Amino acid sequence: MAVRGCSATKNFDISAIFTRDGTLKPVKSVLSVIKLKNTRCRGSYKGRRLSIMKNLLKQLIATAPTEENGELNTANVLADYFKAHGIDAETDCWDEKRANVVAKVGSDDINAPTLVFGVHLDVVPASADTWETNPFEPVEKDGYMYGRGSVDMQGGICAAAAALVEIANSDVPPNGRVIFAAAAGEETDSCGVRRFVEQYKDKIVNPIGTVIPEPTGMEILRAHRGILWLKIQTAGKTAHGSMPHLGINAIEKMNALLNRLKDFQIPHTPHDLLGGCSMSLNRIIGGSATNIVPESCAIELDIRTLPGQSHEEIINSLKAVCDELHAEDSEFNANISIIRAVGALEAEENDSFIQSVCQATGIIETKAAGFTTDGPYFAKLNAPVIIFGPGDGSQCHKPNEHLELDQLGIAKEYYKSIISAMLT
């Protein structure tokens, strides 16, 4: 990258990226790292810092880290970015294409006060025919970056990574430790964060808190509901469709359960920020042909839970409904299994970490998120978690997802303030 009127150093160059089909493709535009020595360039220095973040964002989008592709290429781009700026970063790869990245700034002492930035590398898939542009070819237009993951959450990755780089290269290094944990699989099974917490919980002896730069429009969120996705399957006995009396119709058995679930309420006390617990029947699968009595029928329930609610108690209350039906009809048999379970998240408003973040950013009000995150797993590090990042959360998982680029610089400055307030 040519920088007119300033002395600049290009520190590294990524000459190729992996495309969605796994082949290597040359990249003409490379990420250039600029170290300015001329203070007269300070005005445009800010612009170039934004340009570095934008280039990183474009590279991350182009790696298309869907569940199908995995996160390894994305992890390599991010680890290279950190290493190019003199920051220690390690890629942890498993199952050939799954990967986490962990970068560290500051003290090497595991007892040092430690602030964690927790991000996810993966994105949800995008169907090209619902987009106006190719979702994995980033397009910058009118101050926005279009591309799958621009908002959820590669923008947040870029802002937090850039904050770490600037803190690491500042005159006042942190008096403690910042760990940047980029995890795989948040959109599916949280496999990456579970692996990170398992590896690091004994190496973070003195945790201060975790910041999750998911898109919140730079509002500080300190709570969200948990998820409990359940499958309930009724068992029947197959028979020829012309002789139904010889079989047990699993769909009819499911119908009995559905009638009972109409009035079913999960006991709970509404939460100040989060409101109530909810349950939605979102999927039904049953039968194989018009002339075969179905031997199986399944429903899938999306339950959103509140802090303190026990998943086990919810499952037991549904089992009790099934047991009642079995008592009334011995041919009613159902099995409940968990598809996915993530706990709810909550940090108290008067918690010292929350208060310190509010002071460092000048943002007084804290709110709750309508979505879930890897936060409950990061909370297993035994410190509070906040969600605070660039981008409009309503863009997540939608066609033509786009990030307002001005938010990158704003987020980066907030993160630097938080790190400085906690660790200097």
Residue whose CB is less far from Zn ion, 71 or 214: 214
Q: Which is nearer to Zn ion, 10 or 397 (CB)?
A: 397
387 binds Zn ion (CB under 5 A): no
d(CA 82, CA 96): 22
CB of 156 to Zn ion, least distance (A): 8
**Nearest distance from C-beta of residue 207 to Zn ion, angstroms:** 22
- Report the residue number, 122 or 295, with the smaller CB distance to Zn ion: 122
Shortest Å distance, C-beta 118 to Zn ion: 11
- Which lies closer to Zn ion via its Cβ, residue 215 or residue 384? 215
Q: CA gyration radius for the chain?
A: 25
What φ, ψ does residue 222 adopt, rounded to 5°? -125, 10
* Element spanning 120, H or E: strand 113-120
Q: Of the two residues 118 and 286, which places its CB atom closer to Zn ion in the complex?
A: 118
Shortest gap between Cβ of 337 and Zn ion (angstroms)?
Answer: 26
Catalogue the E-assigned strands of 260-410.
278-286, 296-305, 334-342, 345-346, 366-369, 385-387, 402-404
245-to-210, 241, 292, 293, 298 alpha-carbon distances in Å: 60, 9, 12, 10, 22
Of 97-105, 152-160, 170-178, 300-308, which segment contacts Zn ion by CB under 5 A? 152-160
**Residue 28 burial (CB count, 10 A):** 5
56 part of the interface to Zn ion, by CB under 5 A: no
User: Which string of x and - marks every residue 109-148 that binds Zn ion (by CB under 5 A)?
Assistant: ----------------------------------------
Task: Kindly state the tokens that stand for 360.
Answer: 């460092």
- DSSP-derived letter for residue 393 is G
Is residue 152 a contact point for Zn ion (CB under 5 A)? Answer: yes
Please, are residues 81 and 56 in contact by the beta-carbon 8 Å criterion? yes
User: What's the half-sphere exposure (Cβ side, CA atoms, 13 Å) at 351?
Assistant: 16
Nearest to 363 by CA among 253, 187, 218, 226: 218
The CB-of-386 to Zn ion minimum distance in angstroms stands at 15
Binders of Zn ion in range 182-241 (CB under 5 A): 214
The minimum distance between CB 367 and Zn ion, in angstroms, equals: 17
Q: Of the two residues 147 and 174, which places its CB atom closer to Zn ion in the complex?
A: 147
| Binding mask of the shown chain, residues 341 to 360, with x at each position contacting Zn ion by CB under 5 A | --------------------
Tell me the C-alpha distance between 179 and 406, whole Å: 25
- Binding of residue 153 to Zn ion (CB under 5 A): yes
For Zn ion (CB under 5 A), the number of binding residues is 3
Q: How far is the CB of 394 from Zn ion (least distance, A)?
A: 13
- Give dist(CA 211, CA 387) in Å, integer: 6
**What residue has token string 């403690």?**
176
Sort 236 into a burial class: Cβ within 10 Å, 0-12 / 13-18 / 19+. buried
In the complex, least distance from residue 116 CB atom to Zn ion, rounded to whole angstroms? 16
Residue closer to Zn ion by CB (options 294, 375) is 375
Residue 270 C-beta: closest distance to Zn ion, Å: 26
Pick the closer one to Zn ion by CB: 187 or 295. 187
For Zn ion, the closer CB: 92 or 187:
187
In the sheet where 144-146 sits, what is the strand order?
139-141, 144-146, 402-404
Contacting positions for Zn ion (CB under 5 A):
152-153, 214
